[in-house]
């Protein structure tokens, strides 16, 4: 049995933040869950995927976040308790349905998990999605620890049904990926079916309907504002004159700072757990009981600005500051030391930060950036394309493991902003320049948002080459399936969509299917694409070896080694491929037989045929 299905209320379990959210949903009787994966949210659906195979939960990996939210909307409007999870930039993709779903509202509780990523541990930006709550007028909850991640999830379902609105839970990477004790509650029975009630003049958002719905949303918003004033997730802790306002993970930094500095009797902490709508009465009460205020919030000065507005309205004339105090910046994550220092400085305390050891004598250390795995098929595809198109072609790329093609010696990533942009920006680059353009996109990303770009490329007669890196999985985020995957080895029977048929159906004329570990044939196909005067698509098919291993599909091959009698030390292997299984032993290239998966790519690159399978 899956550990999150353990039916033992009152017991404690060490859970990852994301597991706590999944558990909270189960305790709330979630019936329906959808997502598109994305770090740091991915472990929630990973758990749902497994749980759905042994319970009544319906779960799907949807094609992208917009689809996930719309599928979830259907379920929630029919009346089922529904959860939709995504990373912060996923909400940009889902923003269109979000904004108007706020108008219609829902019937069954709907909770949207939005995982922000301050410091960009695994993201293309660090936008602050608290603005989405403001933009949509939807309620937002922000847990501060693992227990609250579970408890608030349950509360969010109840709140959602009570208000008739989707509720957004905003987490940040640190919270998604901490582990802590969680007190388990009861698993609620699940309602797995309901009946949709027709109400076209409510559910169909034509202008005449939406005018009324906007009014309804504002009424519901007012009701949620009352709730936020009264729900215990918003709280004033302490009675001191020094005011501290905080939310999310920063609450811990503030709490620890207060205890480290020994100032509990001097401070009042306003903890914003139900952070939107702002609990206005509580804020006023707080502002009236303190003499000055420091707002501790990662990323944008959202609470700071709103508190200033409330103070202005109420004629409360005290100093309210946040950004710019000590190290409190709009950039990156906060940490306990930084917050302790800021609190001490703002309230004019004597404080000496702990001193770090002297590291001035440390020599310059070689970097350790992440890298494509040994035997990664993306490396082989990149090699072949570069052999033909050279270093000067424009290489728009996309988001996934293959973005690591940015690093030398591959160095084949020239532009990426968001998922799907490789294809559409390729259209722009190829029209606006006379340079050759080869765009790279992963298979999961192609389904997510590459198809529309390709339709555009065909329709508008763009001329460039698109390489679809079909490794049979969504590797970067933890090997989730996608519509092009054979899901049988993962234990579910879903319909597989052929990328080739899809591309053909879109009207692409020049299509090449290649196996990237066969370098000669792959290079021939790439050459043909370069000679073709029009839009070419190369589909490079080879399963991610990590995924293959995890699902019992890996075909073991002998590892390779360098025959030193043949090796002339040109080092093409290292200079052109740099598979991490290779290393230098003195001046001699060696292959670590424990890392090598025997893909044979380096053996085909070596002009001396010095790389050979190891004879056991």
Ligand X SMILES: Cc1ncc(C[n+]2csc(CCOP(=O)(O)OP(=O)(O)O)c2C)c(N)n1
CA–CA separation, 192 vs 189, rounded Å? 9
Query: How far, in whole angstroms, is CA 208 from its chain's centroid?
Result: 37
User: Residue 265 in 3-state DSSP?
Assistant: coil
Give which of ligand X, ligand SF4, another protein, none residue 587 binds (C-beta under 5 to 8 Å, depending on kind): none
CA distance 407 to 417: 17
Candidates 125-133, 308-316, 351-359, 390-398; binding stretch for another protein (CB under 8 A): 351-359
User: Interface with another protein includes 336 (CB under 8 A)?
Assistant: yes
CB of 386 to ligand X, least distance (A): 18
Q: In this chain, which of 213, 598, 606, 610 binds ligand SF4, going by CB under 6 A?
A: 598
Instruction: Decide: 179 and 150 in contact? Cβ < 8 Å.
Output: no
Among 516, 476, 546, 541, smallest CA distance to 380 is for: 516
DSSP string covering 262-312, please?
T-TTTEEEEEESEEES--HHHHHHHHHH-SEEEEE-SSS-HHHHHHHHHHH
Binding flag, residue 90, ligand X (CB under 6 A)? yes
What would the x/- binding string for another protein be over residues 458 to 477, using CB under 8 A?
A: ------------------xx
* Torsional class of 449: left (φ above 0), alpha (ψ -120 to 50), beta (otherwise): alpha
Nearer to ligand X, 108 or 516 (CB): 516
Q: Which stretch binds another protein (CB under 8 A): 29-37, 174-182, 274-282, 502-510?
A: 174-182
- Does position 522 interact with ligand X (CB under 6 A)? The reply is no
- Min dist. Cβ of residue 382 to ligand X (A): 12
Which residues in 252-281 contact another protein (CB under 8 A)? 252-253, 255-256, 259
252: its two tokens? 């811990």
Q: Omega of the bond prior to 277 within 30 degrees of 0, cis?
A: yes
Both tokens assigned to 118: 């301050």
**Binding to ligand SF4 (CB under 6 A): which residues in 468-497?**
471, 475
What are the φ/ψ torsions at residue 448 (nearest 5 degrees)?
A: -60, -50
For ligand SF4, which residue of 66, 87, 378, 482 counts as binding (CB under 6 A)? 378
CB of 220 to another protein, least distance (A): 34
The CA-CA-CA angle for residues 241, 246, 248, to 5°, reads: 155
| Residue closer to another protein (CB basis): 12 or 431 | 12
560 binds ligand SF4 (CB under 6 A): yes
Q: Please state the closest distance from residue 406 (CB atom) to another protein, in A.
A: 12
Element (H, E) at 201: helix 200-203
Looking at the Cβ atoms of 418 and 506, the one nearer to ligand X is: 418
Least spacing, CB of residue 443 vs ligand X, in Å: 5
Determine how many CB atoms are found less than 10 A away from the CB of residue 259: 11
Conformational region of residue 29, where left means phi above 0, alpha means psi within -120 to 50, and beta covers everything else: left
* Interface with ligand X, residue 36, by CB under 6 A: yes
Phi/psi for 443 (5° steps) reads -65, -45
Q: For residues 41 and 403, which CB has a smaller minimum distance to ligand SF4 in the complex?
A: 403
- Phi, psi (rounded to 5 degrees) for 273: -100, -40
Between strands 12-16 and 292-296, the pairing is: unpaired
Find the binder of ligand X among 15, 21, 76, 89 (CB under 6 A): 89
516 binds ligand X (CB under 6 A): no
By CB under 6 A, residue 38 contacts ligand X: yes
Selection from ligand X, ligand SF4, another protein, none that 601 binds (CB < 5 to 8 A by kind) is ligand SF4
Q: Checking DSSP bridges between strand 560-562 and strand 611-613, what pairing results, if any? A: antiparallel
Selection from another protein, ligand X, ligand SF4, none that 107 binds (CB < 5 to 8 A by kind) is none
390's torsion region: left (phi>0), alpha (psi -120 to 50) or beta? left
Which stretch, 67-75, 249-257, 258-266, 468-476, contacts ligand X (CB under 6 A)? 468-476
Exposed e or buried b for every residue in 515-532, given b needs 16+ CB within 10 A?
ebbbbeebbebbeebeee
Cβ proximity to ligand SF4: between 74 and 370 the closer is 370
Residues 193-232: x/- map of binding to another protein (CB under 8 A)? Answer: ----------------------------------------
Scanning the structure block, which residue is given the tokens 């319909």?
495
Q: Classify the C-alpha dihedral 83-86-88-92 as positive or negative.
A: negative
322 binds ligand SF4 (CB under 6 A): no
Cβ atoms of residues 225 and 280 within 8 Å? yes
Q: Are strands 32-35 and 58-61 parallel, antiparallel or unpaired?
A: parallel
**Interaction mask 156-195, ligand SF4, x per CB under 6 A:** ----------------------------------------
Residue 311 token pair: 């103070």
Residues 552/525, Cβ–Cβ less than 8 Å: no
Give the C-alpha separation, 116 to 95, whole Å: 15
Using CB under 6 A as the binding rule, whether residue 548 contacts ligand SF4 is answered as no
- What residues line the site for ligand SF4 (CB under 6 A)? 372-376, 378, 401, 471, 475, 544-546, 560, 577, 579, 581-582, 591, 596-602
- What residues line the site for ligand X (CB under 6 A)? 36-38, 65, 87, 89-90, 93, 124, 399-402, 419, 442-445, 469, 471, 473-477
- What residues line the site for another protein (CB under 8 A)? 12, 14, 16, 39-40, 42-43, 121-122, 145, 173-175, 177-181, 249, 252-253, 255-256, 259, 333, 335-338, 353-359, 361-373, 401, 404, 408-409, 476-478, 574-575, 578, 580, 582-584, 594
């Amino acid at each position: 049995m899956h550990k999150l299905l353990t039916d033992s209320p009152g017991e404690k379990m060490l859970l990852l933040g994301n597991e706590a959210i999944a558990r909270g949903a189960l305790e709330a009787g979630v019936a329906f869950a959808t997502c598109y994966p994305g770090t740091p949210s991915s472990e929630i659906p990973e758990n749902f995927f497994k749980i759905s195979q042994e319970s009544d939960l319906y779960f799907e990996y949807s094609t992208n976040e917009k689809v996930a939210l719309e599928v979830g909307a259907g379920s929630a409007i029919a009346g089922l308790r529904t959860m939709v999870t995504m990373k912060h930039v996923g909400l940009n993709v889902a923003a269109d349905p979000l904004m108007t779903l706020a108008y219609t509202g829902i019937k069954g509780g709907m909770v949207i998990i939005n995982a922000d990523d301050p410091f960009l541990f695994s993201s293309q930006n660090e936008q602050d999605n608290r603005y989405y709550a403001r933009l949509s007028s939807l309620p937002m909850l922000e847990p501060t620890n693992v227990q609250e991640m579970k408890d608030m999830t349950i509360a969010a379902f109840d709140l959602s049904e009570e208000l008739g609105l989707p509720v957004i839970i905003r987490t940040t990477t640190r919270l998604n990926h901490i582990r802590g004790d969680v007190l388990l509650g009861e698993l609620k029975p699940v309602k797995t079916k309901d009946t949709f009630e027709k109400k076209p003049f409510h559910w169909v958002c034509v202008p005449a309907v939406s005018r009324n719905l906007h009014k309804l949303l504002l009424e519901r918003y007012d009701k949620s504002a009352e709730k936020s004033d009264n729900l215990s997730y918003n709280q004033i802790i302490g009675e001191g004159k020094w005011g501290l306002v905080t939310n999310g993970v920063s609450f811990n930094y503030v709490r620890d700072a207060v205890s480290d500095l020994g100032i509990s009797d001097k401070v009042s902490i306003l903890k914003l757990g139900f952070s939107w709508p702002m609990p206005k009465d509580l804020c006023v009460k707080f502002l009236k009981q303190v003499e000055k205020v420091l707002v501790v919030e990662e990323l944008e000065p959202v609470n700071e600005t709103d508190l200033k507005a409330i103070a202005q309205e109420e004629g409360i004339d005290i100093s309210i500051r946040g950004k710019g105090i000590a190290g409190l910046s709009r950039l990156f994550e906060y940490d306990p030391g930084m917050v302790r220092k800021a609190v001490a400085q703002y309230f004019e305390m004597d404080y000496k930060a702990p001193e770090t050891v002297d590291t001035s004598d440390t020599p310059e250390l070689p970097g350790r950036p992440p890298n494509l795995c040994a035997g990664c098929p993306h490396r082989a595809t990149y090699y072949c394309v570069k052999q033909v198109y050279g270093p000067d072609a424009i290489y728009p790329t996309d988001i996934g493991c293959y973005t690591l093609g940015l690093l030398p010696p591959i160095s084949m990533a020239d532009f990426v902003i968001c998922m799907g942009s490789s294809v559409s920006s390729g259209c722009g680059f190829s029209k606006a320049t006379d340079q050759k353009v080869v765009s790279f996109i992963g298979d999961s990303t192609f389904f997510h948002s590459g198809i529309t770009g390709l339709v555009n490329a065909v329709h508008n007669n763009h001329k460039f080459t698109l390489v679809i890196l079909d490794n049979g999985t969504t590797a970067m985020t933890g090997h989730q399936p996608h519509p092009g995957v054979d899901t049988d080895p993962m234990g579910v029977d879903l319909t597989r969509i052929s990328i080739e048929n899809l591309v053909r159906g879109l009207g692409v004329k020049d299509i090449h299917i290649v196996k990237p570990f066969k370098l000669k044939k792959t290079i021939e196909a790439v050459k043909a694409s370069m000679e073709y005067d029009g839009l070419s698509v190369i589909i490079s098919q080879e399963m991610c070896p990590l995924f293959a291993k995890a699902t019992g599909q890996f075909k073991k091959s002998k590892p390779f080694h360098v025959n030193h009698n043949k090796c002339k030390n040109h080092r093409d292997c290292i200079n052109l491929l740099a598979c991490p299984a290779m290393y230098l032993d003195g001046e001699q290239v060696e292959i670590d037989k424990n890392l090598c998966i025997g893909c044979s790519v380096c053996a085909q690159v070596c002009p001396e045929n010095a790389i050979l399978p190891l004879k056991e």
